Amino acid sequence: MRRSPTPAHAPTTDSLLEGSAWFPALGPEARARVREEMREAQVPAGAALCRMGDAPQHWYGTVEGLLKWSVSSADGRSVTLGGLSVGSWYGEGTLLRGVARTADVIALRDSRVALMPAEVFEWLRVYERSFGEFLLRQINERMHWFLGNFAAHHLLDTDSNVARALVGLFHPWLHPGSDPHLQVSQEEIAHLSGVSRQRCNAALKRLAADGLIEIEYGGITVTDLAGLRRRAPD
């Protein structure tokens, strides 16, 4: 993970803050402190923003790019828990629990991430009621999504599970800034879907044949998000 200047035309931490659900609701003093203490890190594709076992030091927001949240076993197997796209804020659970991180966050492509120091996060949680309300909603939305995934893996067919994995990257609260073109591999979608790569590839082809997505070299473009949501009940 490295820190370096940001091109003038690129999205910024300020634009991420202004477009978030929590920052505009803060008081003037809190907004000023957040702006002063936020930092930004560049995470090259394949590199880790943080690793399982790390002590929590920051709350994160994706400024640009795409990362994955995953857990790996000692024998090399891994499970992808979710994608972290532009506009996503994450890491609050570990900060609130005060324990070492239980998952890795890895960049799927070159990404930039805003870093809020843990002490600022805790100060906001204690003194800014609106921030505490945001966190409650955030945690509730994430739990609802994970419970839905558990049910979907047991009740839905392969096409619906794959559609749900794609729809999850456009969750209006958890991932509000996603680009319709997703630079993710079919293997990553398979991990998110909880199905084999072969079954995922077949499902993606059927979704493409129905006009819901386009499969391209290096990614997938969602062409009919509403239609995709109808195939993936919440």
Tell me the three-class secondary structure of 91-115, residue by residue: CHHHHHHCCCCCCEEEECCCEEEEE
* Cα three-residue angle 212-180-209, rounded to 5 degrees: 20
Distance between CA atoms of residues 127 and 131, nearest Å: 9
Beta bridge partners of 61: 89, 114
d(Cα 7, Cα 5) in Å, to the nearest integer? 7
Tens digits of per-residue pLDDT, 124-167?
999 999 999 999 999 999 898 888 877 877 888 999 999 998 98
The answer to whether 109 and 47 have CB atoms below 8 angstroms apart is no
The answer, as to whether pTM is greater than 0.95, is no
Section 49-73 average pLDDT: 92
| Residues of each domain in the chain carrying CATH 1.10.10.10 | 156-230
Averaged pLDDT for residues 55-72: 92
Architecture of domain 156-230: Orthogonal Bundle (1.10)
Residues of the chain with CATH 2.60.120.10: 13-140
The pLDDT of residue 173: 84
Which CATH homologous superfamily contains domain 13-140?
Answer: Jelly Rolls (2.60.120.10)
Query: 4 pLDDT band (50/70/90 cuts)?
Result: very low
